[in-house]
Structure 1
Amino acid sequence: MDKDSQAVTALLNHALDESGLSQAAFATALRTSASRLSTYRSGRTKPTAQFVLRAGRIAHALHDAREHRIMTAPATATAIREASDDDWAWRMLLQGRDHLRLLLKRRDGSEAAWEAAPGTTLHTGFDTLLAALTAHEFKGAGEPPPDWTKVAPLPEPWIPDHPFLDHAQIIEQTPDHLAQLNIFVPDRDLATA
């Protein structure tokens, strides 16, 4: 292997270590397969310069977020997946979204931790809602949303149960950016203190 290829594999290996993720989770974060990442790390296949730079940038942001106990998209998806009930899953979703808001306000590149594509929450509605809320926050901050947030509408409407509102009221009070994805959640239920 030539010196440049060795340097690329060293950069990718360092990025994987710095990310704190497994190879499979880091591959997901970078929107590639674990087997493809493995071929890049071994030098059998040469990644683009853009891929190597993105891997390093995202890994560094994930590391910093972990050090400061700030939720990332992968961490938020994991927290939702591991939630003991739907109420806790909603809390984790909104806490993650609030952490993203903080990162976007910093304007120092730390929002790259949310460019990392998350694994599944094991619930299509939460997967789509996480993508929608992330895209909405990036757009609101004047930043281009990460590619992983470009999702198709759900095939069937998702209207989570509500303790006070009926379905018609929920639909009426849902923000357009969610309704377009066939997700119906009252705007006030997305607000946090």
Structure 2
Amino acid sequence: MDKDSQAVVEQLNCALAESGLSQAAFATALGTSASRFSTYRSGRTKPTAQFFLRARRIGHALHAAREYRIMTAPATAAAIREANDEDWAWRMLLQGRDHLRLLLRRHDGSEAAWEAAPGTTGQAGFDTLLAVLTAREFEAAGENPPEWSSVEALADPWIPQHPFLERDEIIEQTPAYLAAVNIFVPARDLVTA
């Protein structure tokens, strides 16, 4: 293997280590398969310059987010998936969204941690909601949303149970950007203190 290829392999290994993720999870975060990422790490296949730079940037940002104790998209999806009940899943979703807001305000590159594509939450509604809220936060900050946050509308309406609102009231109080993806949640349920 030539010196440049060896340097690329070393940098990819460093990015993986910095990310704190497994090889499979980091590959998902980068938008590729674990097997493809393995070929990059072995030097059998050369990644594009864009992929290489994204891996370094995201690996570094995931490391910084861990040091700040800030949730990332993969961590938020995992917290939702592991939640014992739906109330806790909502808390994790909103906490992750609020952490993204903090990173976007820093303007130090750490927001790249949210470019890392998450694994599934285990529920299509939460997967889509996480993507839509992420895109909305990036757009509000004047940044381009990560590729993974561009999603199709759900095939069937998702209207989570509400403790005191009826179905029609939930639909009526849902912001248009959520209704556009077939998710119905009152705007006030997305507000945090």
**Equivalent in the alignment of 2:147:** 147
3-state SS in 1 of match to 2:21: coil
3-state SS in 1 of match to 2:156: coil
Report the CA distance between 1:107 and its aligned residue: 1.3
TM-score normalised to the size of structure 1?
0.99
**Equivalent in the alignment of 2:16:** 16
Report the CA distance between 1:164 and its aligned residue: 1.2
Q: CA RMSD in A?
A: 0.5
3-state SS in 1 of match to 2:52: helix
Q: Which runs of 5+ in 1 are unaligned?
A: none
**Equivalent in the alignment of 1:66:** 66
Structure 2: distance between partners of 1:176 and 1:50: 34
Structure 1: distance between partners of 2:83 and 2:52: 34
Report the CA distance between 1:109 and its aligned residue: 1.0
3-state SS in 2 of match to 1:18: helix
Letter in 2 for 1:10: E
Report the CA distance between 1:61 and its aligned residue: 0.5
Letter in 2 for 1:15: A
Report the CA distance between 1:122 and its aligned residue: 0.5
Structure 2: distance between partners of 1:101 and 1:172: 27
The one-character-per-residue Cα deviations of 1:21-68 (angstroms, maximum 9, x if unpaired) are: 000000000000000000000000000111111100000010011111
Residue correspondences, number? 193
1:116 and 2:116 equivalent? Answer: yes
Structure 2: distance between partners of 1:164 and 1:34: 45
Structure 1: distance between partners of 2:122 and 2:154: 14
TM-score normalised to the size of structure 2?
0.99
Q: How is 1:1-193 mapped onto 2 (pairs within 5 angstroms)?
A: 1-193=1-193
Structure 2: distance between partners of 1:109 and 1:63: 12
Structure 2: distance between partners of 1:175 and 1:145: 19
3-state SS in 2 of match to 1:16: helix
Report the CA distance between 1:172 and its aligned residue: 0.9
Q: Identity percentage over the alignment?
A: 78
